[in-house]
Amino acid sequence: MRTLPTLAALVALASFAVVATSAQTLAPVTAQVSKGTVAVPPTDPATLDRLPPLPRGHIVYVRLALVDKVVEIAPGIRYRAWTFNGAVPGPVIHARVGDTIDVTLTNTASMGHSIDFHAALAPPNIAYQTIEPGTTLHFRWVATSPGAFLYHCGTPPVLAHISNGMYGAIVIDPRAGWGRHAQSFVFVQSEFYPKRAADSDEYEGDLAKMISGTAQVVTFNGDAFRYMTKPLHIAVGRPVRVFVIDAGPSHFSAFHVVGTLFQRAYVDGNPKNLLVGLQTLAIPPGGGAVAEFTVLQAGKYPFVTHAFGDADAGALGIFDAK
Ligand SMILES: [Cu+2]
Which residues does residue 105 pair with via DSSP β-bridges, in sequence order?
64, 137
How close is the Cα of 33 to the center of ligand 1, in Å?
17
Ligand 1 centroid, distance to 55 Cα (angstroms) = 27
Residue 9 has pLDDT above 70, yes or no: no
Q: Is 144 helix (H, G, I), strand (E, B) or coil?
A: coil
Query: Cα Rg for the chain, rounded, in angstroms?
Result: 20
30: phi then psi, degrees, rounded to nearest 5: -120, 160
Say what the pLDDT of residue 255 is. Answer: 98
| pLDDT tens per residue across span 51-99 | 999 999 999 999 999 999 999 999 999 999 999 999 999 999 999 999 9
Residue 201 Cα, ligand 1 centroid: separation in angstroms? 23
Per-residue burial over 25-50, b = 16 or more CB atoms within 10 Å of its CB, e = otherwise: eeeeeebeeeeebeebeebebeebbe
23 pLDDT more than 60: no
Q: 155 CA distance to ligand 1 centroid (A)?
A: 5
Residue 222: predicted pLDDT: 98
CA of 255 to the centre of ligand 1 (A): 27
**DSSP bridge pairs for 15:** none
Cα 130 to averaged position of ligand 1 atoms, centre (Å) = 8
**Does the pLDDT value for residue 20 go beyond 50?**
no
Contacts with 25 (C-beta within 8 Å, 6 or more apart), sequence order: none
Q: How many CB atoms lie within 10 A of CB 273?
A: 13
Distances (CA, A) of 142 to 26, 33, 99: 7, 20, 6
Q: Report angle CA 169, 284, 307 to the nearest 5 degrees.
A: 105
| Fold designation for 183-321 | Immunoglobulin-like (2.60.40)
> Ligand 1 center to residue 111 CA distance, Å?
8
Ligand 1 geometric centre to CA of 74 (Å): 22
8 A C-beta contact, residue 184 and residue 146? no
User: Distance between CA atoms of 95 and 77, rounded to whole angstroms?
Assistant: 34
Q: Which range has the worst mean pLDDT, 25-34, 183-192, 273-282? A: 25-34
Alpha-carbon gap, residue 7 to 195, rounded angstroms: 53
In the chain, list all ranges with CATH 2.60.40.420.
43-173, 183-321
Give the Å distance between the CA of 46 and the centre of ligand 1: 23
How many other C-beta atoms can be found within 10 angstroms of the C-beta atom of residue 228? 12
Q: Give distance in angstroms: CA of 114 to centre of ligand 1.
A: 6
pLDDT tens digits, residue range 281-295?
Answer: 999 999 999 999 999
Ligand 1 centroid – CA 321 distance (Å): 38
pLDDT at 304 over 90: yes
Residue 40 CA to ligand 1 centre (angstroms):
17
From the CA of 79, how far away is ligand 1's center (Å)?
15
Please name the residues in contact with 73: beta carbons below 8 A apart, sequence gap of 6 or more. 79, 81, 88, 192, 194, 203, 217, 219, 222, 223, 224
Q: How far is CA 21 from the centre of its chain?
A: 27
Distance from residue 248's CA to the centre of ligand 1 (Å): 15
Rounded distance from Cα 299 to ligand 1 centre (Å): 41
- The listed CATH number (2.60.40.420, 3.40.50.2300, 2.30.110.10, 3.20.20.80) that belongs to domain 43-173: 2.60.40.420
Q: What is the pLDDT of residue 24?
A: 55
317 Cα–ligand 1 center, Å: 28
